[in-house]
Amino acid sequence: MKKVLSILLIFLFATSMMFAGGAGESQAPKGKTVVEIWSNDRHDLEYLLAKVSEFNAKSDTIEIKHTTVVENYPNMLVMGFTSGNAPDLFYMNARGTGFDLKTFVDANMLTPYPDSLLDDPEFAKVTDARKNIVEGVNAINGVPYAIFNVRRSGTRMIYNVDLFKKAGITKFPTTLAGLVEAADKVTKVGNGQFYGIATCASAQFERWLEGIINKSGVYHYDFKKGVFNFDGYREGILLAQKFFSNGSMFPGSNTQGVDAMRAQFANGTFGIWGNASQEAGVFTDQFPIEDFEWAVAELPSLDGTVKGTVDSRPQKGLFMFSSSKNKDAAWEVVKYLNSEEVVKGYIEKGYALPLSTYMQKVVDMSGAGRLGDFAPVPYEGLYPSVPAVTVAGDNYAVSIWNAIVNGSDVDRLIADLNKRYNEALERDLKIGKVKRIVIPNFDPLNPNKEKVQFLDK
């Protein structure tokens, strides 16, 4: 509770709330109950407001009020709750920035989803509710506090087909070693005019390299033993160092923002770019590619085979505040916003990809443009959240990326990461900050199949 209170106190220093867009009235028309929803998504606002208006026009008993919070979203949620002005429901995407589900649950801020809703035939069909309960993401101790209905793809490799042809490459590589070779070939043909591959200043390692390693069955936490283990990252780091040592990484990859590098790719200045399904809209609308052919490939792996899950972020989870005075009406709104009609239209407008098996069969992706190139693959999903330990020094992603850029000693790096993370784990276990997470029969291709065990030691 000390952690919860300290977070709440920090949030109370926030000085403003900024909102954009809304639907419904502050007070309900006579005979109607207002259900208020907050969201921090703006890209889908037009569609959702249209669906909210349709609901309000048809319902004689419920009026939805939709508000978009455009900054400090998790802070504003806490402030709303502590001040008595929280909405009934709020949207949050999986592992949303700054949102710690356990903190909200420990502070008794959320209402869990009832079994009656999870097992409702229509709701279950559209969301695969029981199959998408992920510890630490939308559930604590196996109790779900939200269910997602769509998803963003795992990372894909987006590449310039014309540059590949110039380099004599006819097929996108299936191994990381092959990717290094392809980037080198494109760079040599470019002779300083274009390069093989690029990343950007944010989430360099996580953007695509970590997905390649995870696909190879390697993860930074050993769920069977309940300890951190970075040993499996060795081969991937050694190979990735070659992008820099052979000069195939586009200059500016470490300093330029994501949009700047997207613009560079659209201008044809490098051949390979890794990111998820949001790039479908980026390269058709924001930075339209008109002067060359581009294609989308699945991530390679270390040996060309699939041995592990690649992170794919579920979206549009509705959480309910425990302070809601209109819970019955709010659950009806949750059912509506997770109905086949609403979710199908959302996907077909190109806002996200289908999550459930049923929705994958019924949606028509023909109107979603290049989003179809990012269609889900069987090995995409989410890992349970690992213990949120307080580590001294840089986190593992930053440490690994720095070693890739600088060509640092990889064995020393891995030993340091194992030491720092497991020391932090033992220290945080002793003070009760975290619990050890163990899955005895953990399968990297089915990371949420087995029940999670929480241990105090």
Q: Residues 237, 118: one domain?
A: no
Residue 192 phi, psi (nearest 5): 90, -10
Structural domain total, the chain:
2
Q: What is the pLDDT of residue 27?
A: 61
Q: What is the pLDDT of residue 99?
A: 87
> Residue 271 sits in a domain of what CATH number?
3.40.190.10
Q: Residues 326, 411: one domain?
A: no
Q: What is the pLDDT of residue 372?
A: 86
- Mean pLDDT for back-to-back runs of 10 residues, the chain (457 residues): 44 42 54 95 91 96 93 92 96 86 93 97 96 91 95 94 98 98 98 97 93 98 98 98 98 93 97 94 91 97 97 93 98 98 93 92 85 90 90 96 97 98 97 93 93 90
Q: Residues 286, 324: one domain?
A: no
Q: What is the pLDDT of residue 11?
A: 42
Q: What is the pLDDT of residue 98?
A: 78
Closest CA to 176 of 151, 158, 157: 157
Element (H, E) at 391: none
Last residue of a domain, one of 343, 368, 393: 368
Last residue of a domain, one of 323, 346, 368: 368
What domain range includes position 168?
154-311+377-457
Closest CA to 43 of 276, 346, 351, 282: 351
Closest CA to 348 of 337, 336, 334, 362: 362
Q: Residues 385, 292: one domain?
A: yes
Q: Residues 395, 332: one domain?
A: no
Task: Decide: helix, strand or coil at residue 258.
Answer: helix
Q: Residues 197, 233: one domain?
A: yes
Last residue of a domain, one of 330, 346, 368: 368
Q: Residues 170, 212: one domain?
A: yes
